Structure 1
Amino acid sequence: MTSSPAGTPQKISAGFDGIDVDALRRTVHVSFDTTVGQLKDLVRLPGIAWPSFDPAPLDRSADAVAELVRAAGIEDVRILRCNKEDGTPGGPAVVARRAAAEGKPTILLYAHHDVQPTGDLALWETEPFSAVERDGRLYGRGAADDKAGIMAHIAAYAAVTEVLADELGLGVTFFFEGEEEAGSPTFRTFLETHRELLRADVIVVADSSNWKVGIPALTTSLRGLVDGTIEVQVLEHAVHSGMFGGAVLDAPTLLSRLIATLHDDDGNVAVKGLVSRDDVSVDLTEAEYRADASVLDGVRLAGSGTIASRLWTKPALSIIGFDAPAVDVASNTLLPRARAKFSMRLAPGQDPADAMEAVRNHVESNAPFGAKVVFTPGESGNSFLTDTGSTAAGMAMWALGEAWGVPAVEMGIGGSIPFIADLTEVYPDVQILVTGVEDPDSRAHSANESLHLEDFRNAVVAEALLLARLNREGLA
């Protein structure tokens, strides 16, 4: 069931025989201060999986997560890793498993314990790894993305084991990755190496967002991704801009002209052959989007159709890097070549290989002034669509609504989680749910990342309810 975010949410109460909702809620609430304290301890560990960072804090992060899982009552806890293609070790993943009783399904609970680098420290209002609580939010790198996802899984499991005791026959596997923010370079190898250990009937990926503070959401679609570089070559070498300027345009100017062809006058992606739809069930107002994205006054929004479709079900192309001399060291020369990196989000249903070829065809056929264009494809990732009619999705929508007290929203996310495609390929029959603890102001990957603590509490309750119902009813 969906609700219009513009309307006033109504309290709902839909219990099920045999599920003590009040007991689960009460158990989560009683232990919540402890849960937040454990989350703060995790936030203080600067585990970054990028090769340029010291791996020791990442190893300590894995050890700390493993201890929390053991404390929740699971004995079979392992720290595992696979090697990258170059032979260097991947990030440490924590895997723990409680076997299912006869006839009961198994649910795999995924999150990641590695985090993004801090970026410019001058932009932070608190120390990134100090876990500061202020005005109902917890600030710190990884507080929302995604150490709160880990704690939501662990705290929900602890509540269910306490309330259900011997009645709990559900199989539960924790899979806490240690290299997601570095692009999950060993994820597919890890799945194939540990295929049976990670096999499950339902997978919950707690690495997304809710609609807004106070309104939960199940993420039902994610955009795919392709990226690459576009280089324009004009001269064999740089020449004096006074002696030769006027009869030939420099490479940065021609690259800028080429980049300008990637969008039409309204800001829609102008690359032919891309999937694009405008069929979302809920929408953002322009004011909401401007506030969430911190758009400056006077800047006109780009694209056409609903704002939500522009974010979820249409392509979006950005230039995220540009090679040119810095202004402070620029000389009076005509530059012979310039290069830009593009990143394009793909609508659900778009084949990444087709999208990459579409961009190649576009830039090569729009070479300005006959300049040489060199297109180099980069990474790609598939989109994702949830089967909203699945048993697990129905249970999740009920659990979210029950925990928050308002109907949950089915929403898309403009971002990408490429490894979900690996999960669906390795486990084609699994039911995948994408949930999360973030909200539009969590600022994941940015300075001043934060977590709304009341929504976090509700997320724990929701997952406990999902586990309890799945334990009782199974997937029949």
Structure 2
Amino acid sequence: MANRKAEYLTLLKELIALPSVSAKRESLPETAHLLGSALEKLGGQVEIDESYFAPLVIGQFKSQKADAKTLIIYNHYDVQPAEPFNLWDSDPWTLTEKDGHLIGRGVDDDKGNITARLTALAEYLDDHDGQLPVNITFLFEGSEETASQHLDDYLAQHPELKADLIIWESGNKDAQGQIELGGGNKGIVTFDITAQTAGIDLHSSLATIVDSAAWRLTQGLATLFDPKTGEIKVPGFYDDVQTPNGREQALIAALPGTKEDFIKDYQIQAPLLSDKRQTDWKNALYFEPSLNIEGLSSGYEEAGVKTVLPAQATAKAEARLVPGMDPDKTLGQIRDYLADQGFADLTVTKTLGQPGYRSDMSDSEILKVIDLAKNLYPGEPVVSPTSPGTGPMAYVNNAIPAPIISLGVGYQGALDHAPNENIRIADYDDNINFVKLIIDSYTH
């Protein structure tokens, strides 16, 4: 049998070398075509849809079984920027092996997951005379790191895509080495809020009569949040929140880790907002929306003193959304509330947005994957109905109504989006075997 692992590690090296940063729109067509060639070489029917800036890659592998089910494997080939380069121990665009780890930008999020799954399929085909018990469709997008722009448009152009189960892009082992399996993620809407109080920056002696943009912005931002209760004050913000069902609440309650561990691990110094609201911290993390200021910029920020009255101030902000919440509706509520509080002059500009999603974790296809994990990994898998992070599950499920479960090659120290992103080779190998088990389960 061919050394499939080595073959696809070579592909991983080639993928890492392509800086497919969707935020900069770099190397996206080149990466898509490299993946398309790999799928064709493996025997797939490949289509590369280049209708938008980040091509969608579809690779289909058909089973001979007349009643075969269909498995969609979703991944993304775009990555986060690698800066700051000086914090990397090796070149981020060169796949580096060291001490049982593979290091490079995108090795966990998400290119290593792609090549592990291709390895699993290739090894399965080699072991079974090229025959599959299930139809497999690979779906690779190139804008996941920028809110999956145009993914919904792409999917609308491909109504032929159907599935009984969707394997999501990635997943981890937890700090105890247990495999984590997830079924959802939060949505998000990101936006800029800008105050403009003069045409030019002014001498700060004028602050007795002219409002500063920095004051104007921060005063407006302060109306959005109640610091005493930890509640977001925007009317209607919580109205559409989808309440978790009993199984979802039980799964979250069973997740490992305590509040004290969380505070220690993240070096938290401020009081927890969930304590102010008198809600359970895990429920808040997974089932509640949030409103966050990502950054503030105004006036003079260099060394020394400059007595200036800033004419402009900008905040980059985000609302993390849970299922039931609409990004545009939520942003409209925020904009309307600022106006009602006397801040209609603040400009609110949407930058990105997508809704949230949660799978039914009692679906038979998902329960099967959970049982298979017990056959491969030691101990009980850690099962979560959702993630605090964001992804395009809702777009995919709206177009292809099938249960979704996430699993992957990562671990707690993978450093996704950070310098020295890495995976452990042992976890990579485990994931290959897990995907082969999932494929083989459709034999029965």
TM-score (norm 1): 0.80
- What's the offset of the Cα at 1:146? 0.4
- What's the offset of the Cα at 1:143? 0.4
Going from structure 1 to structure 2, the CA distance change for 1:326 and 1:461 (only over 3 Å counts) comes to farther
Going from structure 1 to structure 2, the CA distance change for 1:394 and 1:324 (only over 3 Å counts) comes to same
Quote the residue 1:443 is aligned against: 415
- For 1:416, the aligned partner's letter is T
- What's the offset of the Cα at 1:161? 2.0
| Match for residue 422 of structure 1 among 395, 399, 417 | 395
Please tell me whether residue 239 in structure 1 is matched to residue 198 in structure 2. no
Structure 1: tracts of 5 or more residues without a match = 1-26, 84-89
- What's the offset of the Cα at 1:237? 5.0
- What's the offset of the Cα at 1:145? 0.6
Contact 1:284 1:308 in 2 (8 A): no
| In structure 2, C-alpha distance between the alignment counterparts of 1:349 and 1:446, rounded to whole Å | 31
Quote the residue 1:135 is aligned against: 99
| In structure 2, C-alpha distance between the alignment counterparts of 1:325 and 1:42, rounded to whole Å | 41
Quote the residue 1:274 is aligned against: 237
Going from structure 1 to structure 2, the CA distance change for 1:451 and 1:213 (only over 3 Å counts) comes to farther
| Match for residue 43 of structure 2 among 71, 74, 89 | 74
Quote the residue 1:147 is aligned against: 111
Quote the residue 1:18 is aligned against: none
Contact 1:266 1:303 in 2 (8 A): no
What secondary structure does 1:207 align onto?
A: coil
- What's the offset of the Cα at 1:36? 3.9
Q: List per-residue Cα deviations over 1:407-449 (Å, max 9, x = no partner).
A: 111223111113x222222223x22223333233222122111
Quote the residue 1:87 is aligned against: none
- What's the offset of the Cα at 1:119? 1.6
354-363 or 268-277, which deviates more:
268-277
- What's the offset of the Cα at 1:302? 4.0
- What's the offset of the Cα at 1:31? 5.2
- Aligned identity (percent) is 24
Quote the residue 1:394 is aligned against: 367
Which residues in structure 2 correspond to 1:14-413 (within 5 Å)? Answer: 32=5, 34-51=7-24, 53=26, 55=27, 58-71=28-41, 73-83=42-52, 90-100=53-63, 101-165=65-129, 168-196=132-160, 198-212=161-175, 214-235=177-198, 238-242=201-205, 244-265=206-227, 268-272=230-234, 273-275=236-238, 279=249, 280-281=252-253, 282-286=255-259, 288-290=261-263, 293=266, 295=267, 298-304=269-275, 305-328=279-302, 331-367=306-342, 372-411=345-384, 412-413=386-387
Going from structure 1 to structure 2, the CA distance change for 1:79 and 1:234 (only over 3 Å counts) comes to closer
- For 2:134, the aligned partner's letter is L
- What's the offset of the Cα at 1:33? 5.1
| In structure 1, C-alpha distance between the alignment counterparts of 2:117 and 2:162, rounded to whole Å | 18
| In structure 2, C-alpha distance between the alignment counterparts of 1:51 and 1:96, rounded to whole Å | 26
Contact 1:322 1:340 in 2 (8 A): yes
Going from structure 1 to structure 2, the CA distance change for 1:359 and 1:463 (only over 3 Å counts) comes to same
Contact 1:81 1:190 in 2 (8 A): no
Contact 2:12 2:112 in 1 (8 A): yes
Aligned pair count reads 427
- What's the offset of the Cα at 1:184? 2.8
Contact 2:102 2:423 in 1 (8 A): yes
| In structure 2, C-alpha distance between the alignment counterparts of 1:328 and 1:246, rounded to whole Å | 24
Going from structure 1 to structure 2, the CA distance change for 1:290 and 1:130 (only over 3 Å counts) comes to farther
Contact 1:223 1:413 in 2 (8 A): yes
What secondary structure does 1:399 align onto?
A: helix
Contact 2:299 2:310 in 1 (8 A): no
| In structure 2, C-alpha distance between the alignment counterparts of 1:121 and 1:59, rounded to whole Å | 24
Going from structure 1 to structure 2, the CA distance change for 1:465 and 1:81 (only over 3 Å counts) comes to same
TM-score (norm 2): 0.85
- For 1:62, the aligned partner's letter is A
- For 2:379, the aligned partner's letter is V
- For 1:468, the aligned partner's letter is D
Quote the residue 1:472 is aligned against: 443
Structure 2: tracts of 5 or more residues without a match = none
Going from structure 1 to structure 2, the CA distance change for 1:31 and 1:379 (only over 3 Å counts) comes to closer
What secondary structure does 1:328 align onto?
A: coil
What secondary structure does 2:208 align onto?
A: coil
